[in-house]
């Protein structure tokens, strides 16, 4: 059991905990930084959907990297998902850290606006939908 919530939904915002580059099974696969970034974003998208929101409603992200030399590759993949199809680009911080959980090199967290019908989803409902 995690010592955190995957997400907390308030009437005005959805706060999503940092997502690692993990498969649904929890496995941390090897691969390029672009691939690892895409996994982090896929996990964010799953939680956004479970809460009734989507990536176009993300207003702030924080990207954690263990080595800033990976910024360009991470940023290239990031730009494929955020601020597309007319959606505004979210505010973003990118932070270099000494290490991340499970030895990963990238982690991404975000804050989003609730989507249509999201206000009715409790923290437990979001957790159940993500785990489901």
Instruction: Kindly list the catalytic residues.
Output: 94
Q: Given CA atoms 35, 45, 43, 75 in this order, what sign does their dihedral have?
A: positive
**Residue found by looking up tokens 């090897």 in the block:** 30
**Residue found by looking up tokens 């249509």 in the block:** 116
Strand partners, 112: 14, 58
Q: In Å, how far are 5, 6, 27, 71 from 89, measured between CA atoms?
A: 25, 23, 30, 17
| Rama region for 117: left / alpha / beta (φ>0; ψ in -120 to 50; rest) | left
């Amino acid at each position: 059991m995690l010592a955190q919530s995957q997400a907390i939904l308030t009437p005005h915002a959805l706060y999503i905990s940092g997502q690692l580059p993990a498969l649904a099974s929890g496995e941390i696969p090897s691969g390029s930084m672009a691939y690892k970034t895409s996994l982090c974003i896929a996990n964010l998208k799953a939680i956004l959907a479970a809460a009734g929101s989507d990536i176009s409603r993300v207003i702030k992200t924080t990207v954690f990297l263990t080595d800033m030399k990976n910024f360009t590759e991470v940023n290239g993949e990031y730009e494929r998902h955020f601020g597309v199809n007319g959606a505004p680009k979210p505010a973003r911080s990118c932070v270099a850290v000494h290490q991340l959980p499970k030895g990963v090199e990238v982690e991404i967290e975000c804050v989003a606006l609730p989507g249509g019908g999201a206000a009715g989803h409790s923290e437990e409902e979001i957790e159940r939908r993500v785990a489901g």
